[in-house]
C-alpha cells in the first residue's frame, strides 16, 4: 500500500486553485466533475514529490464547521475486492462500497475517529 493523495474540502474551487498554484507553486494536473457525489475535484502536484493534493468542492455544501476541511487521505491497493473483504472481516466500517470510476475502483473506509480513507485500485 502507498499513500497517494490528501483531499481538502474547499468553498471556492477557482480561488483555491489560484491560491495553491500562485502562492505555493503547485501545478494543476486535472479538474473534473464527479456527478455521483455532486462534487468537483482538482488535483495539484508539486515538483519533486509523488504526493498530490486533491481539492474537493461539494456543490450542495454551504457551511463548513472548523475541522471539515480535511476530507480524506487516499491509499492505492492492488486488489480492491480482497482488501475490502479483509477490512470487513476485521470489523472495519465500510463508508462506501467499491464502485467503478475512470477505469479503476474506489471505496471508502472509516478510521476509529470517523475520518474517511479512500482506497483506489488502478488497472
**Nearest-angstrom CA–CA distance, 27 and 52:** 10
Would you state the cell numbers that stand for residue 37, as one nine-digit string?
Answer: 457525489
Tell me the pTM.
0.70
CATH fold for domain 77-123: 3.30.720
Q: What is the pLDDT of residue 42?
A: 97
In the prediction, which pLDDT does 66 show? 66
- Domain segments of the chain: what residues? 1-76, 77-123
Q: How far apart are CA 109 and CA 8, in angstroms?
A: 17
Q: What is the pLDDT of residue 67?
A: 66
Ranges of beta strands (E only) in 11-114 are 27-34, 39-45, 52-58, 70-76, 94-101, 104-110
How many CB atoms within 10 Å of residue 74? 21
Could you give the angle at the alpha carbon of 59 between the alpha carbons of 5 and 12, nearest 5°?
A: 70
- Catalytic (active-site) positions: 118
- Average pLDDT per consecutive 10 residues, the chain (123 residues; last block may be shorter): 87 89 90 94 90 91 75 88 94 94 90 81 88
The CATH superfamily holding the domain 1-76 is 2,3-Dihydroxybiphenyl 1,2-Dioxygenase, domain 1 (3.10.180.10)
Amino acid at each position: 500500500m502507498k499513500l497517494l493523495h490528501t483531499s481538502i474540502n474547499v468553498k471556492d474551487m477557482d480561488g483555491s486553485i489560484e491560491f495553491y498554484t500562485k502562492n505555493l507553486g503547485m501545478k494543476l494536473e486535472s479538474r473534473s466533475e464527479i456527478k455521483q457525489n455532486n462534487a468537483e475535484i482538482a488535483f495539484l502536484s508539486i515538483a519533486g514529490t509523488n504526493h498530490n493534493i486533491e481539492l474537493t468542492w461539494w456543490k450542495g455544501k454551504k457551511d463548513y464547521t472548523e475541522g471539515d476541511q480535511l476530507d480524506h487521505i487516499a491509499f492505492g491497493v492492488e486488489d480492491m475486492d480482497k482488501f475490502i473483504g479483509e477490512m470487513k472481516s476485521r470489523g472495519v466500517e465500510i463508508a462506501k462500497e467499491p464502485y467503478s470510476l475512470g477505469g479503476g475502483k474506489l471505496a471508502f473506509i472509516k478510521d476509529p475517529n470517523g475520518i474517511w480513507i479512500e482506497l483506489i485500485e488502478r488497472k
